[in-house]
Every structure is written in C-alpha cells, then in structure tokens.
Amino acid sequence: MNQKQKILCVLYDDPVSGYPTQYARESIPELKQYPDGQSMPSPAKIDFNPGDLLGSISGGLGLKKFLEDQGHEFVVTSDKDVQNSVFDQEIVDADIVISQPFWPAYLTAERIAKAPNLKLAITAGIGSDHVDLQAAIEKNMTVCEVTYCNSISVAEHAVMQILALVRDYIPQYKWVIDGGWNIADSVSRSYDIEGMDVGVVAAGRIGLAVLKRMKPFDVNLHYTDRHRLSEDVEKDLNLTFHADVESLVKSCDVVSIHCPLHPETEHLFNENLISKMKKGSYIVNTARGKICERDAIVKALETGQLAGYAGDVWFPQPPPNDHSWRMMPNHAMTPHTSGTSLSAQARYAAGVREILECWFAEKPIRDEYLIVQGGGLAGTGAHSYSEGNTTGGSDEASKFKV
C-alpha cells in the first residue's frame, strides 16, 4: 500500500504538570508472552522507551517518526466531543482513526458517514464499543484492537477495587489526609473478604485472571460466561458455574463485571437485576460503564441494596461534571485508568504499530486483533461481540469541563 495516508489519533491530554521529564522507575519488566501463550505485540521496530507515558498527546503512542518518515500525515488531538471539535474537522479526509478506550473518540454512524476515506479504526487497548460496529460492518471497514495488551493490568485494578470496597479503604485514607485518627469511623463499614462469595460476569482473559488472583484470599469463587471454562480450570480454582447472570448475582457478595459492551449487555445491571442481589453486596465494574444503568446504581447505593460500587469505566467518557456517579455514596471510582498503566501503554503502543505495519504492507492482521473485517464480525469480534451499536448518548461527553 504505497499511497500516503492520513492517520487521526485521539489521545488524552498531558499531565497538568507537564509531560514527564523523568519517571518513578527506570524500566518495566520485559514479558515474553501472555499467560495463555499468545505472543506479545511484535512490530518490526519501536521508537519509544517502554515505561514512558505514551498514551497522552506528547507521547503519541510512539508513532510520529514511524509514520512521518513514510510520508503519512499524523494528526494527534484530545479535542473530540465539543461541536466542531478537531476530531470532527479532521475525520472528513482521514484514512485511519486510532483511539483509546480511556478517552474514546466515538465513531458514530454520522461520523463514519462523513469520512469517505475511512477504512481502518484501531483501538489502542481493548474494547471497541466506542465504534458503531454496525455502521463499520455496513461500510466494510476494518476495526481492530490490541487484544490481551492490558488484560492483566485491568485484572489487577479490579482486585484492588474489590479489596478497597470490602475493607472500605477510601474513607480510612481520607481520615489520614484530613489529619484525623477516627478508628471507629474508619472501620464501621469495613469487613474481611475471607469466606465471601465472589463472582465474575464473563471469565475471559480478564475475568479468569481475577478469579486466579482472588483464590488465595480463601473466598468461594463463581462465574458465568457464554463460553464455559474447561473442567480442569473449574476444578483447579474450585469454581461454581452459573448458566446466567441472575443465578450468579443471587449467590455472590461481590460481583466483578468483565464482559464486553454490546447490545446484549447494555444496561444489563438494571434495577431489576440489582434487586435480586444479596442486600449489602458489592459491584466492581472495570468493563464498560454502560453495562450498568446509571440511576439504578445510584439508587441501590442510597437504599443500601448495594454496600459499595467501584470501577473505572463510565458512560460517556469523560463523564459530565455533574455525572451522578461522582457524588453517589460509598463508591470507589477512578478515571478509566485500569488499562493504561505505563506498563500497559508499552504493549498497546507496540500493538498499534504492529497493526499499522501489517496494514501498510497489505499483510494479514492477527486474528486475535480483529473485531470487524470483510463486512462482518471477525476474529475476537466474532467470539465476544454481537452486531449493533452502543454509542447512543455519547454526545453527553461534550458536557465535561476541565
């Protein structure tokens, strides 16, 4: 593919203190392969230091030299949601769009329609629900993501939030910051997780990693998934399988959500499903915010049906400043950071470059990376997604103000 192309890349802003000139650690561990044996991203070359901040504007996913040396146009912006944003202006003649789940450029049907040259959408990370997959299918686009690049990163974050909720860590930390020593206040909602029933919704790469990491805490482990795990894995982890999510939530004290967002999972955790959970249970959601119905979560926390809710995914992203999840009681929310640790950034930046190298050379993109290709779901997309669109309402992101 010799013709020069325009690559539009949407990334989050640099730190308010400025792009780092030094880092807390000098290096990150070099991993040889993923836990299931899948090989790490394997571009011909990289032009960045693993462990650097690559996911923000100045980092540029380490792609600038690679693309511009070949004569391609590389446009990087964080301006994606407001009317007449840079993203909207630049997409009209873009050939490729790169975006991250953490600061998603919502590729709605309207935006796809006004971009006649657009053939490839890459998610720098995992989860391509910010793309209208139905519109991409109908336009015969290719949609791909860097499967597995940050799955363990997200699993670690989920375990951290499970413990933070059950032990009620956030208020205890706040007492220290505020100069107090209020032990009774600090422990009045704090419990041991030992002996509790902990379940995951979807036991793919992330969900299974959470189950493995929770086993040493001597909890009872549960899962539901449309693809049942092997008998050996179930036996090794002493798992209880549930045929549906309703059965799972009735049995668990803690539910951790790890399914992708598609029409079948949109607003899955609504008032009806939450009402069937044990009173005083916990939800951790590091999958996608729209899997949980916003008002139902708030109401359940206010009534005590839920003892706590944590996650780092919202809808839309960034959420409006008056988003009710910012103010609801007993939450332990973070911005969408679970999959964009500096360690994860090195992997998804390398994966994006690998995809681009294949695209420009007209070589096949790894099947694991494919979501949509050839007018239908493909690869990982065929395994994990359903056709349709979940970008509705994403325009609310324009209400976020720094």
Q: How large is the C-alpha radius of gyration of the chain?
A: 21
pLDDT one-digit tens code per residue, 333-360: 999 999 999 999 999 999 999 999 999 9
Q: Is the pLDDT of residue 402 over 90?
A: no
| Sign, Cα dihedral of 94, 100, 103, 105 | positive
Examine the residue annotation and report whether 2 is marked as an active-site residue of this protein: no
Question: Which residues, in sequence order, are CB contacts of 31 under 8 Å at separation 6+?
Answer: 40
Dihedrals phi, psi of 201, to nearest 5 degrees: -95, 105
Alpha-carbon gap, residue 353 to 8, rounded angstroms = 14
pLDDT digits (tens, 9 = 90+) for 28-73: 999 999 999 999 999 999 999 999 999 999 999 999 999 999 999 9
- Judge contact between 280 and 252, C-beta under 8 A: no
Q: Is the peptide bond before 318 cis (omega within 30 degrees of 0)?
A: yes
Place of tokens 């419990």: 191
Q: What is the pTM of this model?
A: 0.95
- List pLDDT tens digits, range 275-296: 999 999 999 999 999 999 999 9
Looking at residue 4, what is its pLDDT?
Answer: 95
Q: Is 150 a catalytic residue?
A: yes
- Structure tokens of 122? 């890459």
d(CA 58, CA 60): 5
Domain 151-333 sits in which CATH superfamily?
Answer: NAD(P)-binding Rossmann-like Domain (3.40.50.720)
> Active-site residue among 258, 323, 336, 366?
336
* Nearest CA-CA partner of 332 in 312, 314, 317, 315: 312
Is there a catalytic annotation at residue 5?
no
Measured N-to-C along each axis, helices 169-177 and 151-166 cross at an angle, to the nearest 10 degrees, of: 80
What letter does residue 92 receive in the DSSP assignment?
A: G
Catalytic residue selected from 100, 161, 172, 317: 317
Tokens for 158, please give them.
């989920």
SS (H, E, C) 231-290: HHHHHHHCEEECCCHHHHHHHCCEEEECCCCCCCCCCCECHHHHHCCCCCEEEEECCCHH
Structure tokens given for 172? 């205890």
DSSP 131: B
Question: Looking at 130, 222, 262, 288, which residue is catalytic?
Answer: 288
Six-digit token string for 299:
């109401």
Please list the residue range(s) of the chain that carry CATH number 3.40.50.720.
6-149+340-379+386-399, 151-333
Among 90-99, 251-260, 381-390, which stretch is predicted with the lowest mean pLDDT?
A: 381-390
Residue 29, φ and ψ in degrees, nearest 5: -60, 145
111: pLDDT confidence band, cut at 50, 70 and 90? very high
Any catalytic annotation for residue 336?
yes
* CATH superfamily ID and name for 6-149+340-379+386-399: NAD(P)-binding Rossmann-like Domain (3.40.50.720)
**Close Cβ partners of 234 (under 8 Å, ≥ 6 residues apart):** 241
Residue 45 Cα distances to 58, 60, 234, angstroms:
20, 16, 40
Catalytic residue chosen out of the listed positions 150, 305, 330, 345 = 150
User: What is the mean predicted confidence (pLDDT) over 93-113?
Assistant: 96
- What one-character-per-residue DSSP string does 295-334 give? HHHHHHHHHTSEEEEEES--SSSSPPTT-GGGT-SSEEE-
